[in-house]
């Protein structure tokens, strides 16, 4: 079973994967997630009526910063020279949701899936933090990788 996990050696010890023999390729990853909240909370975000400030702008910046700090947060992640990080937040009044999408890119020897997932998650946590005074019942939901391309494993698109 340890053979199935790239971050474990033959004895089951944690290791950082050696990517030195891999070719540098263009790599992209996109992740998505949502923060579900009360209708009144979403309206406050839309009206920019949250006391802590512009929720969507702050969460966008937090997501970008988080992608760049992924190896500081997740053990065994390689420090990467990201060439692009885009984080978009949109409000969906029909679902009382803030939807978050992050796309990370680079030319390198390892993928950027963790960076995209970290960007979405930290952006969602920032929305929660900025709105928790008025809505402690918010839910962070459905954080997932939706696209990955580049590298030996090729392209992945979620159904």
pTM equals: 0.90
Judge whether 129 counts as a catalytic residue. yes
Binning the chain into helix, strand and coil, the percentages to the nearest 5 are: 30, 30, 40
Catalytic residue among 4, 129, 142, 157: 129
Q: What is the DSSP letter of 69?
A: T
Confidence of residue 96 (pLDDT cuts 50, 70, 90): very high
**Contacts (Cβ under 8 Å, ≥6 apart) of 36:** 95, 96, 97, 138, 139, 141
List, in order, residues 6 or more apart from 61 with CB less than 8 Å away. Answer: none
Helix (H, G, I), strand (E, B) or coil at 157: strand
Give the per-residue pLDDT at 2: 42
Kindly report the length of the chain: 159
- Packed helices 113-131 and 39-46: angle between N→C axes, nearest 10 degrees: 100
76 phi-psi bin (left φ>0, alpha ψ -120 to 50, beta other): left
Over residues 51-90, the pLDDT tens digits come to: 888 999 999 999 999 999 999 999 889 999 999 999 999 9
Distance CA 99, CA 154 (A): 27
Which tens digits make up the pLDDT trace of 2-54?
457 777 777 877 877 878 778 889 999 999 999 999 999 999 999 998 888 89
């Amino acid at each position: 079973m340890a053979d199935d996990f790239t971050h474990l050696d033959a004895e089951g010890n944690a290791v950082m994967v050696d990517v030195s023999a891999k070719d540098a390729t263009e790599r992209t990853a996109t992740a998505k997630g949502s923060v579900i909240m009360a209708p009144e909370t979403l309206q406050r975000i839309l009206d920019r009526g949250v006391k802590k400030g512009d929720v969507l702008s702050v969460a966008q910046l937090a997501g970008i910063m988080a992608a760049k700090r992924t190896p500081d947060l997740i053990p065994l992640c390689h420090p990467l020279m990201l060439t692009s990080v885009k984080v978009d937040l949109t409000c969906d009044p029909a679902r009382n949701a803030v939807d978050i999408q992050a796309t990370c890119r680079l030319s390198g020897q390892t993928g950027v899936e963790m960076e995209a997932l970290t960007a979405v998650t930290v952006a969602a946590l920032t929305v929660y933090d900025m709105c928790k005074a008025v809505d402690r019942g918010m839910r962070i939901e459905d954080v997932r990788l939706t696209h990955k391309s580049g590298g030996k494993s090729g392209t992945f698109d979620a159904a």
